[in-house]
Structure 1
Amino acid sequence: MDQPTVGILHPGSMGAAVATCAATNATAVLWCESGRSTASVERAARFGLTPVATLAELLDRSDIVISLCPPAAAEDLARDVAGHRFAGVYVEANAINPERAKRIAALLDGAPVVDGGVVGSPPIGGKTPTLYLSGPAVACERIEALFAGTAVRTAVLGTEVGKASALKLSYASFQKTSRVLVALAVGMAREHGVDQELIEIASRRTDSYLSEPQYVAKAAARAWRWGPELEEAADTLAAAGLPPEMLRAAASTLARWNDVKDDSELTLTDALDRLAQP
């Protein structure tokens, strides 16, 4: 099979890194620079992506399009793509709930839609995330081939759209909520002057997030993305008749950090202060 041309919507920190891996087995990886920020332009250039002027041009030239954007924008983006009658493989790789993934598949009637979920950190610096896939078998095979031999591992979960999204949000529900609980636990202990003792207790246990309080600052900087993802997971719980309140509460907690979006200089003390006094 000839190497495909791939379009990425849009090259954020995860999207750009995933797109670079796709470039290994692609003729070119395109991105649409219209309306994007200076940071996006610089990131795309750094990762060697090919700019095009319009979404129409990207879709016209691409055999495969990968959507990796904030969850709230996923359906509007898919609707724009559907409006251009795109007929290639559309990889819906956002952290959205299974019902939304199915709605997007319905929107793109005529194009095979692969439901995708990335578990792990962006594939740079030795990191090897897994892209879980579900959807039409032939389309999933094309995505497996696209990432063969790269830092992005792939795993096919079946032919049902929604499975990959469900797995992603099931994992995110635990992983991201656990980070929020660390912030609350360390913040409470600090208020009473026993935070170091708490960390010492936690360090005696293996694989405890409580032994990594320094990660709270990273969680705070990513809160603008994590909160909407947990809202998606809460919707998934509610649809299954399970209580969503814990995840909605975690999302509410994360919202207290929305004004420190992507702040790489944030410290643990700053993050806890903002949590206590928004």
Structure 2
Amino acid sequence: MPSPTLALLHPGAMGAAIGACLVSTGHRVLWCSAGRSAATAARARQAGLEDAGSLADALRAADIAISVCPPDNALDLAREVARHRYGGVFVDANAVSPATLRQIEEAVRAGGARFVDGGIIGQPPRAAGSTRLYLAGDGASDIAALFEGSALEAIALDSPAGSASALKICYAAWSKGATALLAGIRALARHEGVEPALLAEWQRSSPQTPARSEEVAQKAEKAWRWVGEMEEIASTFHAAGLPSGFHLAAADIFRRLDVYKDAPRPPAMDEALDRLRR
């Protein structure tokens, strides 16, 4: 059987790295430059992706389309793909709630595509062992096989579509939610004049926490993207009958740092904390 052609929609930092993993295993990977930025084009070139020009042309040539985009754009992108009557396999690998995932699935299936649910845990894959792509639903094992031998570990779950997204939501609820919580605590301690004492106590009783509390500054350039992810997490908690307020507050923490999108370097911790206290 010939190797399938894939379309990567759209190559941000994570998407481009995933595309590079597929290229490294011998697959042809397309992207569409229409309406995309120069930075996106540079990432795509570096990853070895082939420019198909328009979304219509990319979908026409692709057996498989993989969506990796900010969560608040995921449903709109799926609907756009459906308008093109795409008949291949659509893999949604975005940080969306199970409820949003169901809307995405309904949209692309109505357009004629088959559907696989995906959830990414970890940083953009550069070395083996750093990142997992969980997949669920019919065809999950076929998509996982595409990544064999690459830096991305793809794991097919023996469960229906929605499970991979739910796993991603649960993981990010802690990992990114904790980043927001610690940032808020540091900002509060600074406001109350007890930040040095808090850091000293953390160093004694929880030595890993001072460094962990610095992550909000180190990752501030990603904060704009995490706003929608926290909102998706909050809606998932609400749908399960659980309190959702914590992750709505986390979304607000990250929203206050969205000025650092595309910043050439991360802000100092002092600057980030001052931005949170505005």
Q: TM-score range by the shorter chain?
A: over 0.9
| Displacement of 1:216 | 1.7
Cα 1:177–1:60 change in 2 (3 A) is same
Structure 2 unpaired stretches of 5+: none
**Residues 113-192 of structure 1: pairs in structure 2 closer than 5 A:** 113-124=115-126, 128-136=130-138, 139-192=139-192
Q: Deviations over 1:43-88 (max 9, x none)?
A: 1112211111111110111111110001111111111111122121
Alignment TM-score, normalising by the size of structure 1: 0.92
Once the two structures are overlaid, the 10-residue window that deviates more, 203-212 or 245-254, is: 203-212
Q: Which residue of 2 aligns with 1:275?
A: 276
For 1:199 and 1:89, how far apart are their aligned partners in 2?
A: 50
Q: Which residue of 1 aligns with 2:55?
A: 55
Give the counterpart letter for 1:220 in structure 2: A
Root mean square deviation, CA, Å: 1.8
| Displacement of 1:32 | 0.2
For 1:180 and 1:221, how far apart are their aligned partners in 2?
A: 14
Q: Which residue of 2 aligns with 1:14?
A: 14
Give the counterpart letter for 2:134 in structure 1: Y
Is this contact kept in 2: 1:199–1:211, CA < 8 A? no
Cα 1:31–1:180 change in 2 (3 A) is same
User: Helix, strand or coil for the counterpart of 2:266?
Assistant: coil
Give the counterpart letter for 2:18 in structure 1: V
For 1:46 and 1:207, how far apart are their aligned partners in 2?
A: 39
Cα 1:178–1:210 change in 2 (3 A) is farther
User: Helix, strand or coil for the counterpart of 2:106?
Assistant: helix
Aligned residues: 275
Aligned residues with identical type, % of pairs: 42
**Residues 1-278 of structure 1: pairs in structure 2 closer than 5 A:** 1-109=1-109, 110-124=112-126, 128-136=130-138, 139-204=139-204, 208-263=208-263, 264-277=265-278
Give the counterpart letter for 1:62 in structure 2: A
Give the counterpart letter for 2:258 in structure 1: N
For 1:82 and 1:3, how far apart are their aligned partners in 2?
A: 24
Is this contact kept in 2: 1:134–1:161, CA < 8 A? yes
Structure 1 unpaired stretches of 5+: none
Cα 1:106–1:209 change in 2 (3 A) is farther
Cα 1:188–1:113 change in 2 (3 A) is same
Cα 1:127–1:43 change in 2 (3 A) is farther
| Displacement of 1:149 | 1.1
Once the two structures are overlaid, the 10-residue window that deviates more, 7-16 or 82-91, is: 82-91
